[in-house]
């Protein structure tokens, strides 16, 4: 089992539903996803029953499909496991949805709330600098 796969005891209904967004279910996977020296990564911290999270999910999917060639997209669902909840806490996420944008292994920006337009603006700025 690698860092991006789930333990078979975990619910798997939404795993890899879309190839453009990868579920992060372990601290190891989070570190691997955000530490890349050559990649822009966007992480969506969410909870499965959060109404704003549900509302913004299709917009995040569209963003991921639109920029899949330029960045990698991930999500951490705090309800998926105690370890996922720990990832939120370890990264200072106090409300969901929260989006973190990472570039070359460093946290560049954080957007709290369902403001996918702000996430896109940050991405476009990073793409322009590449």
Q: In the chain, helix, strand, coil percent, each to 5?
A: 35, 25, 40
Catalytic residue chosen out of the listed positions 53, 71, 78, 119:
53
Domain that holds residue 123: 21-129
Residue 50's domain is classified under what CATH number? 3.40.30.10
The question of whether 63 is a catalytic residue gets the answer no
Residue 100 lies in a domain: yes
What is the reported pTM? 0.85
Residue 16 lies in a domain: no
Catalytic residue chosen out of the listed positions 50, 57, 71, 122:
50
Q: How many domains does the chain fold into?
A: 1
Residue 107 lies in a domain: yes
The question of whether 47 is a catalytic residue gets the answer no
* Average pLDDT, 10 consecutive residues per value, the chain (130 residues): 48 49 94 90 96 96 95 96 96 97 96 98 95
Cα Rg of the chain (Å, integer): 14
């Amino acid at each position: 089992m690698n860092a991006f796969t789930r333990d078979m005891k975990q619910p798997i209904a939404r795993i890899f539903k879309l190839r453009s967004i990868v579920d992060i279910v372990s601290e190891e996977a989070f570190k691997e996803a955000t530490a890349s020296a050559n990649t822009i990564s966007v992480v969506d911290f969410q909870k499965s029953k959060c109404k704003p999270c549900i509302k913004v999910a299709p917009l995040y999917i569209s963003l991921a499909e639109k920029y899949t060639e330029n960045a990698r997209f991930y999500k951490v669902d705090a309800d998926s496991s105690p370890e996922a909840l720990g990832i939120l806490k370890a990264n200072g996420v106090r409300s969901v949805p929260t989006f973190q944008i990472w570039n070359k292994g460093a946290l560049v920006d954080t957007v709290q709330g369902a403001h996918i337009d702000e996430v896109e603006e940050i991405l476009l700025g990073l793409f322009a600098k590449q």
